Amino acid sequence: MKRHSISYRGEGRTVPRTATPANVQSTLALNGMGSFQWDVEAGSFFLDAGGLAVMGLRAGEYDGRARTLGRRIVPDDLPGLQVVVARALASHPSYGAYFRVRHPDGSVRWTHIQGRVLRDATGRARRVVGIVRDASDELQHFAEQTALKVDRQRQTDVVQALTYALSQALSVEDVTTAVTSEETRKRIGATAVALGLVEQGHTRLVGAAGLPEGLIRDLSVSRVSAAMPFAEAVRTGTPRFLSRHELRDRYPRMWPYLKATAFTRAAILPLVAQAQPTGALAIAFQDRPGFTSGERNLLLALGSTIAQSLQRSVLYDHEHELAVGLQHAMLPSRIPDCLGARIAVRYRPSQGGREIGGDWYDVISLPLGRIGIVVGDVEGHDVHAAAIMGQLRIALRAYAAEGHSPSTVITRASEFLRDLDTERFATCIYADLDPTTGLAGVVRAGHLGPLVRRSDGSCSRPSVPGGPPLGLLDRADASPYPAAPLQLCAADTLLMCTDGLVEFHGMDLDEGMSQLETVMIDGPAPLEDLADHIIDTIEARSELLDDAALLLATLG
């Protein structure tokens, strides 16, 4: 077959008028795409088989005219498309646009067209060649990703808002007010919230909003052994996410009060701090078909934060216990099981009788089986330092769980602390560890570097470039926290700690680090025994003048 070509001023190329070769047509069609050629003066508009399918046309029913295609386009979208095309024909080399096409079966599909305008020697538009494709899946994916991003930000905002409110709460009444407030319920989309406290073998309802008055009056106190939501949560330590029918079947004593409500789902969460049950939290929702994994994680995070604050408030009147109990309440209630790695943590208050400090550690489950480990210290030794530590720890945990790089996690944590409008700063070290390969990315923010005890018994200090303490970040610094790679082998042990383990009277920081290396080298192999050995040996050799947090990690 003879091929006819004509040269237009497109990109200095000769573009054939012939149809797209069959194999290219097939490839485009399989990807929901097709090609077109439009003779502007003649008004003819050629579509290959893939293009016909995108426009909802079958072979033989299309007359090859551009105006016929216009009847397929949703009327609201046609004027905008015409404006884009007219501008391109007048002065632009190409154009692209999204519009909707109604198919014969009544369905409406998003479509994208991309055209290249070919001109003659005088600059007049003669022909347009391009691609038309089905864009529905693309836009759906974009919408889903946008919604996911919005949802993650909402979760972060909820955690930060409640954490801030609880950081100001000292009494049980303060905690109850923050948890049951209209603002809190609105943020999490709840209809009702109830908070229970463990007292001498009973669970007592200490605050509620949105629950039937009869339920609050008649069932406010239960034995821990009773078949009631709070008692069961305290007894088992297991969170439950229940439907309306499950509430009816599981708690028949409560159903006479609940059946007149519009609750469709409820979350019953145990509140555990320092591995001890302090109470339980019930959150009820309307018009909710179920809980997504993100919603469950958010509620569990809120429960963890409330548990720490609730215990802190119970201990508030006990000045001696406050210094120890409040610090522990702000630390993770438990270290999660980490597939491929073992973790040991310790915290010791100072022996100098100071108020509560801001030292903390955390272990965070990350996407793709990775583990985030962090040790940090907020400036100061008072309730304010502990409150900032609680907010900072939850914020850093939220940023890490979103899957950001170590540098981004620490940068955002620094910005978060700066935006709290406090004069305090904090230091921390954060590592993103892959237990499968042993490779970690480590970031330092004004904090001590890590130690590693190798399989041959030696101990080293890996080089980790440091950035400024959290809260002191210069907005003009584009990359303030570089991540350093660290390779751990099977028998290696990584140590991260706060300066309470290395700062002593008459000893500079380097001497303290050398002492810690020696203690680590001489320690036993089992991880928990090594953690006890380090803390006990340091305490025996020198008085701890500051709070100390310790985290050990090894593969296996």
DSSP 501-535: GT-BTTB-HHHHHHHHHHHHHHS-SSHHHHHHHHH
474 in the same domain as 344: yes
Q: Residue 271: which CATH number?
A: 3.30.450.40
216 in the same domain as 167: yes
Helix (H, G, I), strand (E, B) or coil at 498: coil
Cα separation, 215 vs 211, in Å, equals: 7
Residue 322 maps to a domain: no
Residue 144 maps to a domain: no
109 in the same domain as 12: yes
Cα separation, 328 vs 218, in Å, equals: 35
- What integer pLDDT is reported at residue 554 of this predicted model? 94
DSSP-based helix, strand, coil % in the chain, nearest 5: 40, 30, 35
Q: Residue 503: which CATH number?
A: 3.60.40.10
488 in the same domain as 350: yes
| φ, ψ (nearest 5 deg) of residue 136 | -65, -45
First vs last C-alpha separation in the chain: 69
Residue 485 maps to a domain: yes
178 in the same domain as 299: yes
- What integer pLDDT is reported at residue 341 of this predicted model? 92
DSSP per residue over 241-303, as a string? EEEHHHHHHH-TTTHHHHTTS-EEEEEEEEEEETTEEEEEEEEEEES-----HHHHHHHHHHH
Count how many domains the chain has: 3
Range of 58's domain? 5-134
132-169 tens-digit pLDDT:
999 888 777 665 565 555 556 666 666 777 777 787 77
- What integer pLDDT is reported at residue 413 of this predicted model? 93
- What integer pLDDT is reported at residue 351 of this predicted model? 54
Helix segments in 133-188, DSSP class H? 136-167, 172-180, 182-188
DSSP per residue over 327-350, as a string? HHHHS-SSPPP-TTEEEEEEEE--
Residue 323 maps to a domain: no
516 in the same domain as 401: yes
Q: Is the CB of residue 494 less than 8 Å from the CB of residue 553?
A: yes
**Measured between alpha carbons, how far is residue 157 from residues 182, 220, 374, 394 in Å?**
16, 31, 21, 11
The domain boundary residue, chosen from 262, 290, 317: 317
360 in the same domain as 245: no
- What integer pLDDT is reported at residue 364 of this predicted model? 92
Residue 429 maps to a domain: yes
Strand pairing partners for 44? 39, 65
Alpha-carbon torsion, ordered 516, 520, 526, 531, to 10 deg: -10
The domain boundary residue, chosen from 134, 165, 186: 134
Residue 147 maps to a domain: no
278 in the same domain as 391: no
Q: Is the CB of residue 269 less than 8 Å from the CB of residue 280?
A: yes
140: which 2 tokens? 């759906």
93 in the same domain as 193: no
128 in the same domain as 75: yes
* Nearest alpha-carbon partner for 351 in 498, 504, 508: 504
Q: Are strands 14-16 and 451-453 parallel, antiparallel or unpaired?
A: unpaired
Cα separation, 515 vs 537, in Å, equals: 10
Regions of the chain where pLDDT drops below 70? 1-30, 141-158, 316-330, 333, 350-356, 475-478, 505-506, 542-545
**Measured between alpha carbons, how far is residue 127 from residues 16, 17, 44, 130 in Å?**
11, 10, 10, 10
Q: Residue 86: which CATH number?
A: 3.30.450.20
- Long-range CB contacts for residues 207-212, cutoff 8 Å, separation at least 24: 207/176, 207/177, 207/179, 207/180, 208/180, 209/180, 209/181, 209/182, 209/185, 210/185, 210/284, 211/284, 212/257, 212/258, 212/260, 212/261
Residue 175 maps to a domain: yes
What DSSP designation does 20 have? P
365-392 tens-digit pLDDT:
998 899 999 999 988 777 778 888 888 9
- What integer pLDDT is reported at residue 8 of this predicted model? 42
352 in the same domain as 311: no
Name the strands in the sheet holding 221-223, side by side, starting at the edge strand that comes first in the sequence.
Answer: 221-223, 202-209, 192-199, 276-286, 263-273, 240-243
Cα separation, 233 vs 251, in Å, equals: 13
418 in the same domain as 539: yes
**Measured between alpha carbons, how far is residue 66 from residues 39, 70, 128, 135, 493 in Å?**
9, 7, 12, 20, 71
Residue 142 maps to a domain: no
- What integer pLDDT is reported at residue 372 of this predicted model? 95
373: which 2 tokens? 């480990």
